[in-house]
Amino acid sequence: MANVLVDMLVTGLPLVPVFLGIYTVFRVRADFDLTVEGSFVTGGAACALALLHGWPSWLCLITGLAAGAAGGLVTSALHLLLRIPVLLAGLIMSIGLFSVNLYVMGTPTLSLGTAGTLFSRFSSLSYVQAGLATAAVMGGIVAVVLVAFALFLRTELGLALRATGVNARMARSQGANDRWLTVLSLAVANGLAGLGAAMTVQYQGYADVNMGTGTFVAGVGAVLLGELLTRPSGSKIIRIVACVLAGTLAYQLVLASALRIGLPAGDLKGVTALTLVVAITAAALALRRRWPWLLAAWAAYLVMLLPVVGIVHNGPQIAADRYTYLPCLPWAILLGGLVSALSRRAWSIAVIAVVVAGLAWPTVGQVRVWHDAETLWTHALATAPSAIAHSSLGVALDERGRLDEAIAHFQQALRVNPRLAHAENNWGIALAKQGRWEEAARHYEAALRIDPRYAEAHANLALALGRLGRYADAQRHLEQARAIVLSRTR
């Protein structure tokens, strides 16, 4: 239990400022800002580079905060100068910042090496002791952030910020500068994201260009989870702080518990997805009066995704891009509606062109993945290793004549899943191409022990037995293969 709590604290506390920033835009300003997906990485990258250049670790936190805030300022400029909605401006920034972050880092993953961090002094302690000491330092930083944020919301400026989220027109009539408050909220939100990323990088020891993926959705989910858990009476400011803190730690507690109870790391995304489904569903229900389209799109997405998500398997299916085509249709319709609404404005064509160009870049990368079977299954193994992926890559290598490499993948497939009949069969085929007929026959027989109605294995075994001069056995297996095929065509 102690290890779970330590895991929750050291992974959850750095996210409290991040999710507080998301709360600022999502709840206080009643808007969506996707910039955080990129500014989180920008803050982490700036912190990592500063550490590698020998800067003090505390100053690197401020560097991360400033870098994240700069991303928010650019988003606000796109919104105010070009009249682009915050949602779309944030999407443009999140796409653009991926390339910027990769260029600044120089590599997809930037290791800190031996650079000193806030937590380096705890490396000689035991896991629990080091974790508690790290959590104490993080907790102190988070406490300062939460107190400062609460005090800010009590000021006249903070009150104006909250008022514009409730009724912007009324707030403007009272003299509040809505444009300046938009700039302030986006800068603060993304600055907090950069600060959280800097803490994360100093703890984990590296920055990664993909570390911000899913941050916005996770933040919204944690905020909604916090609202479900904490309904305290009294000051709204206290409710905001309690909501963000409780939601973030509860979200990380779910993930840490899943790992500690022995759930494979590969299944962690499933736990995360389930937690987010519950949180987003709660959000869609809570916002159904203000944004009814959100609930409709989310419900349609879930209904179309459930048959192919893999809860009930139909054959040896694994993750595949095509399973998302129909479920993503509601979001495509909403995006089309947004484009249609914006098309009446002069700058809309330029914005749409930027978005399309930004989406074209990952599309080019995906096309490279699907170039041929070898690139496809190599990518599959890198992202979601499985026995099927190993066996399929082995087949691709076999077809290119790289038999030894193919056999190595068939062996690995059977280590992962000893009941994978076609891996045994494919291994036998590779051995047969090398003229090792006796070994091939043993693997065909192994495949048939797993699946006695495997027609191809019967036919391959017949060929191997024929090569070995065992014609009667070969004839028997040929007849069995023929009977199985005929039974399937009736």
pTM for this entry: 0.65
Top mean pLDDT of 173-187, 260-274, 319-333 is at 173-187
Which backbone phi and psi does 454 adopt, to 5 degrees? Answer: -90, 95
How do residues 77-92 score in pLDDT, each as one tens digit?
988 888 888 888 888 8
Question: Residue 390 and residue 412: Cα distance in Å, rounded?
Answer: 7
Question: Would you place residue 172 in the very low, low, confident or very high pLDDT band (cuts 50, 70, 90)?
Answer: low
Q: Nearest Cα to 485, choosing from 445, 464, 462, 454?
A: 454
Q: Give the chain's end-to-end CA distance (angstroms, integer).
A: 58
What integer is the mean pLDDT of 311-326? Answer: 65
> Domains in the chain, start-ordered, CATH in brackets?
2-263 (1.10.3470), 374-489 (1.25.40.10)
Asked whether residue 191 carries a pLDDT value surpassing 80, the answer given is yes
How do residues 433-489 score in pLDDT, each as one tens digit?
988 999 989 999 999 999 888 888 888 888 888 888 888 888 888 888 888 888 876
In Å, what is the CA distance from 146 to each residue of 140, 195, 223, 241, 268? 10, 13, 15, 7, 29
